[in-house]
């Protein structure tokens, strides 16, 4: 879902003050309204960017549309913690999409902002105003900042997301609920008696099932069903007799998992009132459990009472009291008449991948690839996770590279999830994968190298399971005594060229080793479209980058002529006045290997002798650039 709003281009790490505020307001004019995902909005807010929820100019009369609503809780008149506020809003069945803490919030005195998102944008200012005022009344007139009534208001960024549900409210149901609220003249506080039963339908999206929260106000209770009893008793025959399912055969474990996550969990467990019922995992006097579908279509069991959140695997595992995950999988396969059919080829490839994973952490690898081992020490986990993904996605002989290594596909989002990294850091993940490719530990395949049938099959699987369509294909070479010399050769090249993970880019390899190497590592970046002519050209370096490199070389030469050496910090300090610190630092990391090579410079770690020779007064032993 994309939401149109205005977000300031400048980030702050504390509450803006004085003349900073008028500048923010001027930057946030209606022409700068853009579309953002919920995750982008949350990420920018906690980076310190100011937001205007409405598509609106400086004055409220210039309001055009709105889908996002914010409420500012300063807790000056009446205090309520964010946890108590969340519970209060759950009772009203008005779950916010997220809540973030403001810059001035402290553990002893919380200050936060509550965000609501509707399923479609409003283009009628009267309706928008009515919704804003209604939300203020529900949260509390004496709690919400009175200025929130203005639809042209801006809200400063904050420190943390303290609550996240990704809940999206239905506009139609919201309007009905508001009408009922005023028709019945419900009290202006958050008394639940006046609005109970007027449920706002929600679409609950959450990738991380461990952080999900109950969406529905509990009204009904459910006794333990026959299906739940059958699972607890390990009676898979109950489901075979009830459903008589046709046998399903999958090629890979991942296909099996993707399939079962989409099975209708309420139907399987025979829970009718699945939006609100007594939890099946604890003695629940007041219904506190609910089942919903997340944005991927997976069914999620959530209990606010005992704090659990499980997909179908977790639910069945708890009911079975399984000691191992394979035991859980075996029962699910039995109850649903499913088989994962493995060929001898698949079994052998899995064995190869497991051996590769073991070798990656072995003394043997350290002995024969010592330099590479040091180079990848901080990113080894990336390769480990790719191997685990490959193990779940081994197909038949058709899907191998020209060396017979298994080919598999995955998305950056899936890899980010496995690594526990924000999806906003996808560039960081891509950068580190290139480092592994350079060291011959991973191969990224161009789409041209993938059999058409495999491309079609991969895209079908991704589409069927609502997965990210931006997928990449990889293969992982087996770690053998024959492969170690190639890997270590690349490791030594990396070290000799003074490459860094942070500097890893097409430009770094292009300048240091040429276009052929850069194209191999970045096959999708071989060409570029000329902005003026629209002509497709071979990618080189940009004019602005070349200019910065010339300036870096000039500064290094001046410093060496003056005192015999230069440091990267000195270069950054001098050029940051012209280019800014971050841009200068990034340019140095990308181009220093080529600068050293082209100008006969050396980058060495200062020792006692060099410090005395060049009269270096700084503490420690910094890296210096000399002739």
**Does any domain span residue 505?**
no
Mean pLDDT of 408-436: 83
Q: 604 versus 452: which is more confidently predicted?
A: 604
Q: Are residues 56 and 185 part of one domain? A: yes
**CA–CA dist 72, 148 (Å, integer):** 7
Give domain status of residue 534, yes or no. no
pLDDT at 54: 94
Q: Within a domain: residue 83?
A: yes
Amino acid 284: pLDDT? 82
* Residue 107: Cβ-neighbour burial (10 angstroms; 0-12, 13-18, 19+): exposed
- Same domain for 231 and 281? yes
Is there a single domain that holds both residue 331 and residue 440? no
Q: For the residues of 601-624, what is the DSSP string, one character each?
A: -EEEE--HHHHHHHT--SSS--EE
Between helix 125-139 and helix 171-183 the angle, nearest 10°, is: 60
**Contact residues for 231 (Cβ-Cβ < 8 A; gap 6+):** 316, 319, 320, 331, 335
| CA atoms in the 13 A half-sphere facing the CB of 562 | 9
- 446 and 487 in a single domain? The answer is yes
pLDDT value for 185: 42
The CB-side HSE value for 321 (13 A sphere, CA atoms) comes to 6
Confidence (pLDDT) at 207: 36
Q: What distance in Å separates the CA atoms of residue 472 and residue 447, rounded to the nearest whole number?
A: 8
pLDDT by residue (tens digit) across 107-156? 888 899 999 999 999 988 888 998 998 898 888 878 888 788 889 899 99
| Rounded distance between C-alpha atoms, residue 393 and residue 253, angstroms | 7
pLDDT reading at 164 higher than 80: yes
Residue 596 predicted with pLDDT over 50 = yes
User: How many Cβ atoms from other residues are within 10 Å of residue 87's Cβ?
Assistant: 12
Residues 372 and 248 in one domain: no
Residue 144 gets which letter from DSSP? B
pLDDT, greater one: 31 or 464: 31
- Residue range 481-500, pLDDT digits in tens: 999 999 999 999 999 999 99
Can you give 290-353 as a three-state secondary structure string? Answer: EEEECCCCCEEEEECCCCCEECHHHHHHHHHCCCCHHHHHHHHHHHHCEEECCCHHHHHHHHHH
> How far is the C-alpha of 13 from the C-alpha of 168, rounded, in Å?
29
Question: What is the pTM assigned to this prediction?
Answer: 0.54
> In sequence order, which residues have a C-beta less than 8 Å from that of residue 428 and are 6 or more positions away?
421
Are 99 and 166 part of one and the same domain? yes
Residue 195 lies in a domain: yes
Residues 158 and 54: their CA atoms lie apart, in Å, by 18
- 214 or 474, higher pLDDT: 474
Q: How far apart are CA 428 and CA 419, in angstroms?
A: 12
Q: Give residues with Cβ within 8 angstroms of 616, minimum separation 6.
A: 565, 606, 610, 622, 624
Taking 80 as the threshold, does the pLDDT of residue 531 lie above it?
no
Higher model confidence: residue 146 or residue 254?
254
155 with 233, same domain?
Answer: no
Among 48, 46, 88, 41, residue whose Cα is nearest residue 67: 41
Residue 513 counted as domain residue: no
Q: Which residues, other chains included, contact 234 with Cβ-Cβ below 8 Å and sequence gap of 6+?
A: 320, 331
Contact criterion met (CB below 8 Å) for 518 and 510: yes
Packed helices 380-391 and 412-419: angle between N→C axes, nearest 10 degrees = 120
DSSP state string for 496-546 = HTT--TTT-SHHHHHHHH-HHHHHHH-GGGSEEE-TTT--EEE----HHHH
Contact status, residue 95 vs residue 89, Cβ threshold 8 Å: yes
**Mean of pLDDT values over 50-70:** 91
Residue finishing a domain among 283, 316, 338: 338
How far is it, in rounded angstroms, from Cα 428 to Cα 444? 16
Q: Supply the pLDDT for residue 424.
A: 63
Model confidence at 208: pLDDT above 70: no
Q: Which of 306, 338, 370 is the last residue of a domain?
A: 338
How far is residue 620's CA from residue 108's CA, in Å, rounded to a whole number?
Answer: 41
Counted domains in the chain = 4
77-81, 176-180, 440-444, 547-551: segment of lowest average pLDDT: 176-180
180, pLDDT greater than 80: no
My answer on whether 16 and 47 are in the same domain is yes
Helix (H) / strand (E) element for 419: namely helix 412-419
Average pLDDT score over the chain: 84
d(CA 513, CA 493): 10
Question: Does 199 have pLDDT greater than 80?
Answer: no
Among 184, 162, 168, 136, residue whose Cα is nearest residue 2: 168
| Token duo for residue 107 | 């553990």
Is 560 a domain residue? yes
3-state secondary structure of 176: helix
Mean pLDDT along residues 339-352: 87
Which of 476, 496, 516 terminates a domain? The answer is 496
Higher pLDDT, 463 or 625: 625
320 and 276 in a common domain: yes
Backbone angles phi, psi at 204, to 5 degrees: -100, 115
Q: Would you put residue 256 in left (φ > 0), alpha (ψ -120 to 50) or beta?
A: alpha
Asked whether residue 324 falls in the same domain as residue 290, the answer is yes
- Spatial neighbors of 379 by CB under 8 A, at least 6 apart, are 432, 435, 436, 501
Which residue has 């639809």 as its token pair? 151
Percent of the chain exceeding pLDDT 70 equals: 90
What band does 370 get if pLDDT is binned at 50, 70 and 90?
very high
Q: What integer pLDDT is reported at residue 305 of this predicted model?
A: 81
**Segment 607-625 mean pLDDT:** 88
Q: Are residues 126 and 183 both part of a single domain? A: yes
At residue 465, the pLDDT reads 54
Which of residues 140 and 373 earns the better pLDDT score? 373
Residue 303 lies in a domain: yes
Q: What percent of the chain has pLDDT over 90?
A: 42
Q: Which residue has the higher pLDDT, 302 or 467?
A: 302
330 and 409 belong to one structural domain: no
Q: Which domain holds residue 396?
A: 344-496
The CA-based angle 533-539-543, given to 5 degrees, is 75
Residue 37 maps to a domain: yes
The helix (H) or strand (E) run that includes residue 474 is strand 471-475
- CA dist 162 and 272 (Å) reads 33
**Do 499 and 489 contact (CB within 8 A), yes or no?**
no
What's the CATH number where 290 sits? 3.90.580
- Report which of 296, 338, 77, 107 is spatially closest to residue 208, judged by C-alpha positions: 296
**Helix, strand, coil content of the chain in percent (nearest 5):** 45, 15, 35
More confidently predicted of 487 and 87: 487
């Amino acid at each position: 879902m994309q939401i149109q709003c205005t977000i300031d281009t400048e980030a702050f790490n504390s509450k803006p003050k004085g003349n900073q505020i008028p500048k923010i307001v001027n930057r946030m004019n209606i022409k700068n309204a853009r579309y953002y995902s919920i995750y982008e909005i949350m990420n920018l807010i906690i980076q310190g960017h100011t937001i205007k929820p409405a598509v609106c100019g400086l004055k409220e009369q210039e309001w055009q549309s709105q889908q996002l609503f914010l409420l500012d809780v300063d807790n000056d008149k009446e205090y309520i913690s964010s946890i108590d506020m969340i519970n209060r809003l759950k009772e009203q069945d008005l779950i916010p999409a997220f809540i973030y803490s403001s810059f001035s919030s402290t553990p002893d005195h919380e200050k936060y902002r509550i965000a609501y998102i509707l399923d479609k944008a409003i283009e009628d200012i009267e309706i928008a105003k009515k919704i804003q005022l209604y939300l203020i009344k529900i949260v509390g007139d004496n709690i919400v900042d009175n200025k929130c009534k203005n639809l042209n208001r801006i809200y400063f960024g904050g420190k943390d997301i303290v609550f996240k549900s990704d809940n999206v409210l239905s506009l139609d149901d919201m309007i009905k609920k508001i009408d009922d609220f005023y028709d019945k003249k419900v009290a202006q506080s958050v008394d639940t008696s006046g609005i109970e039963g007027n449920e706002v339908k929600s679409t609950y999206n959450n990738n991380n099932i461990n952080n999900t929260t109950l969406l529905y106000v509990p009204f009904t209770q459910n006794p333990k069903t026959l299906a739940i009893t059958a699972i607890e008793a390990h009676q898979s025959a109950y489901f075979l007799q009830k459903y008589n399912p046709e046998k399903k055969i999958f090629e890979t474990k991942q296909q099996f998992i993707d399939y079962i996550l989409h099975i209708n969990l309420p139907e399987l467990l025979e829970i009718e009132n699945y939006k609100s019922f007594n939890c099946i995992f604890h003695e629940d006097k007041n219904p506190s459990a609910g089942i919903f579908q997340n944005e991927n279509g997976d069914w999620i069991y959530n209990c606010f009472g005992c704090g659990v959140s499980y997909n179908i695997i977790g639910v069945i595992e708890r009911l079975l009291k399984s000691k191992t995950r394979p035991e859980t999988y075996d029962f699910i396969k039995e109850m649903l008449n499913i088989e994962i059919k493995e060929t001898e080829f698949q079994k052998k490839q899995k064995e190869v991948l497991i051996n590769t994973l073991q070798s990656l952490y072995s003394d043997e690898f350290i002995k024969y690839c010592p330099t590479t081992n040091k180079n990848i020490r901080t990113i080894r986990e990336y390769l480990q996770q790719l191997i685990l993904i490959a193990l779940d996605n081994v197909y038949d002989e058709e899907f191998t590279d020209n060396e017979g290594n298994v080919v598999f596909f995955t998305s950056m989002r899936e890899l980010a999830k496995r690594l526990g990294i924000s999806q906003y850091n996808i560039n960081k993940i891509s950068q580190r994968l290139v480092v592994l490719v350079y060291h011959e530990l991973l191969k990224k395949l161009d789409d041209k190298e993938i059999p058409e049938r495999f491309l079609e099959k991969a895209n079908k699987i991704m589409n069927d399971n609502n997965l990210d369509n931006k997928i990449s294909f990889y293969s992982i070479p087996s770690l053998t005594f024959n492969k170690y010399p190639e890997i270590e050769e690349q490791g030594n090249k990396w070290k000799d060229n003074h490459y860094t993970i942070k500097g890893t880019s097409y430009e770094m390899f292009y300048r240091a080793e040429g276009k052929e190497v850069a194209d191999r590592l970045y096959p999708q970046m071989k060409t570029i479209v000329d902005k003026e002519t629209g002509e497709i050209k071979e990618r080189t370096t940009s004019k602005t980058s070349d200019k910065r490199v010339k300036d870096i070389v000039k500064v290094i030469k001046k410093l060496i002529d003056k005192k015999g050496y230069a440091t990267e910090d000195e270069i950054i300090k001098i050029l940051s006045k012209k280019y800014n610190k971050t841009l200068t630092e990034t340019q140095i990391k990308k181009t220093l290997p080529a600068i050293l090579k082209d100008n006969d410079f050396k980058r060495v770690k200062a020792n006692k002798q060099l410090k005395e020779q060049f009269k270096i007064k700084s503490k420690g032993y910094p890296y210096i650039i000399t002739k």
